[in-house]
Amino acid sequence: MGAGAPAILRAHGEASLAFLRQPFRGLVAIESVCYSLGLTLNAQAPTLTPKKPQPVGFAYWMERVLEECARASEDFAPDPVHDLRVSLRRCRSMADGLMVVDPDPAWREMKQAGKRIFRNLGELRDVQVMQTWVAELGPPEDPETKALQALLATREGEQKTHAAQALQGFDTRQWRKWARELPLRAARVRAGSLIFRHLALERWTQAYELHRRAMRNRSQVSLHNLRIGIKRFRYIVENFLPHEYHAWGPDLKQLQDLLGEVHDFDVLWATALQVNGFATPESRKAWHERIVVERAKRVDRYRERMLGKGSLWVVWRGQLPQGEEIESAALARIKLWASFLDPHFQHTQHVADLAGQLLGELVRLNLIHLPVPEKLGPILQAAALMHDVGLAKRGKGHHKSSWRLIRRMATPLGWTTERLRLAGAVARFHRGSLPTSRHKALRGLPLEQRKVAILLAGVLRLAVALDITRDGRVHRLRLEQKDAVLILWAQGFRAMTRPAESVAAARYILETVLHSPVLVKPWKLHLVRRLSPAVPA
């Protein structure tokens, strides 16, 4: 609960409880109001646990959950319950960020396991916080205070029983397994990396849109949604961008608390109306005026920090990826996502390099007669990096599985669903049947995009064939146009071999699209030097 609400209640003493004097209705009203306030817990409330240094690291918090489970199960006292919920919240918020780049289902399973116990403990925590508020707000000898304390003590006993049952059902063995395995996966992503800065920008963009909406209408719903957006942005920065959080953390917490207090006042007023707890119209009007004033103060303080040239939105945005860096970060995020699924990712990266070289040669010779050919590079790179992610499914037709996985992945900021869908279609045809309009991957694409997909699929299919042995032998390409024939000089390529036979079949799509034969020949240094003296030996 925000600081303003208890201040109001203390300041007005008996007047604050005047509308609750009828014994039964008063008891229900106090319980309902306090319960609503307890639910928000934007703790300016009395602190039950002294603040400790926050160790950083996913492994630490996974182990901490198990330790706090043991502590909490002894008597479910307020401090251990609070500490266990903090540990669970840390693990779940870190999983939110890591799930974006690591598609392993264990992240979602761990989150769900933590969510179940978190919710059960939440009800107990609400009761314990309400007990603290009642002791703070109500005179000790007041009959409503005593009655509510008795009621809450009974409810606490009931919730402790539910919490004990929830802890008994908590699979600690599975949690220990996740505590061993998931930190190893998390360690593959460096905190403070461009990928997490890109993810923070994504959360910033979502939160800023909620800010714009809230500043237009200032409704209860829009301000509450804004608080949630800022909270999600804060969690990414707090868990994965330590340098930025050192600078931004206090402001983020203050803003979250301000909006939380606004929500507290909205809940307080709605609950008071719901229980019809006002003795007179005058007391109802007085309470409404106090709440409106306190609420407006916090909205104004938020606006002071977040509007105008000195807005914190501008400060944060200025230190997150800009311009072309956004697309580079999105591609890096796609690459990392693919690396978690592809068991032969070193081969995949080499294929992506060969595909990029081949596309560059086609552009250099002006052989691509499509709009903005220079924008095809990122699409081809994404398709090449993701073309073997279907191998994670360990079934036949992994190229189809790759397409399905790409189609289901979240579109990273800086990309569009259309471009990602196009990359998926290219990956789909890196092997297997030849692309035709009857295939699902191409059926919904506009004609121009279908042509792009088939061209890039031809490039990718040839690049895959050039490294069919997965040894990286072929590593440099040069294209020459001679009469009506295209000659692809490939360093490391050997004729009259099994890989050469695969290359001969793989070049068919490209030949069809370019309306020209494509001959792949071993690299001849003197010929390549004649084509481009700048090419190193």
pLDDT tens digits for range 413-467? 989 999 999 999 999 999 999 998 889 999 888 888 999 999 999 999 999 999 9
Q: Which run of H or of E encompasses 79?
A: helix 78-101
> Can you point out the beta strands (E) in 15-124?
none
Q: Give the end of a domain, one of 167, 190, 213.
A: 190
Longest CA pairwise span in the chain (Å): 103
Is residue 49 pLDDT above 50, yes or no?
no
Spell out the residues 6+ positions from residue 494 whose beta carbon is closer than 8 angstroms to its own: 500, 522
Structural domain contains residue 339: yes
Is residue 139 pLDDT above 90, yes or no?
no
Q: Are 454 and 435 in contact (CB under 8 A)?
A: yes
- Give the pLDDT of residue 166: 86
Residue 127 burial class via C-beta count within 10 angstroms: exposed 0-12, middle 13-18, buried 19 and up = buried
Mean pLDDT of 200-206: 95
Answer with the residue of higher pLDDT: 205 or 142. Answer: 205
Structural domain contains residue 444: yes
Q: Which run of H or of E encompasses 480?
A: strand 476-482
| DSSP per-residue codes, 394-440 | -SS-HHHHHHHHHHHSPPPTTS-HHHHHHHHHHHHTSSSSPP-TTSH
pTM (2 d.p.): 0.76
Structural domain contains residue 186: yes
Structural domain contains residue 167: yes
Rounded CA-CA distance 537/535 in Å is 7
Sign of CA dihedral 520, 525, 529, 534: positive
- Give the pLDDT of residue 530: 62
Task: Give whichever of 191-195, 273-277, 401-405 has the largest mean pLDDT.
Answer: 401-405
Start-to-end CA distance of the chain, whole Å, equals 71
Give 487-528 pLDDT, tens digit per residue. Answer: 999 999 998 888 899 999 999 999 999 999 999 999 876 566
Spell out the residues 6+ positions from residue 469 whose beta carbon is closer than 8 angstroms to its own: 499
- Expressed as residue numbers, the domain containing 341 is 325-472
Structural domain contains residue 212: no
Q: Give the end of a domain, one of 170, 190, 210.
A: 190
What six digits make up the tokens of 483? Answer: 């009469």
Q: Residues 378, 382, 388, CA angle at the centre, nearest 5°?
A: 155
Domain count across the chain: 2
| Percent of residues in the chain assigned helix, strand, coil, to nearest 5 | 70, 5, 25
- Give the pLDDT of residue 42: 41
Helix, strand, or coil here: 520? strand
The one-letter amino acid code at 355 reads: A
Bridge partners, residue 479, by sequence: 488
- Give the pLDDT of residue 18: 38
Is residue 37 pLDDT above 60, yes or no?
no
Q: Are 255 and 204 in contact (CB under 8 A)?
A: no
Structural domain contains residue 254: no
Rounded CA-CA distance 163/368 in Å is 65
Q: Give the single-character DSSP code of 140.
A: T
Shortest CA distance to 474 belongs to which of 457, 455, 496, 489? Answer: 489
- Give the pLDDT of residue 3: 43
Answer with the residue of higher pLDDT: 148 or 197. Answer: 197
Spell out the residues 6+ positions from residue 10 whose beta carbon is closer than 8 angstroms to its own: 16, 136, 137
Shortest CA distance to 265 belongs to which of 5, 536, 447, 472? Answer: 5
Q: Give the end of a domain, one of 164, 190, 216.
A: 190
Q: What mean pLDDT value characterizes the chain?
A: 81
Structural domain contains residue 446: yes
Percent of all residues in the chain with a pLDDT value above 90, rounded to a whole number:
45
Q: In what order do the strands lie in the sheet with 485-491?
A: 476-482, 485-491, 518-522
Q: Are 277 and 19 in contact (CB under 8 A)?
A: yes
Rounded CA-CA distance 351/460 in Å is 8
Structural domain contains residue 266: no
Is residue 361 pLDDT above 60, yes or no?
yes
The CATH number of the domain holding residue 154 is 1.20.120
Answer with the residue of higher pLDDT: 137 or 399. Answer: 399
Rounded CA-CA distance 88/94 in Å is 10
The CATH number of the domain holding residue 452 is 1.10.3210.10
Place of tokens 């001849």: 524
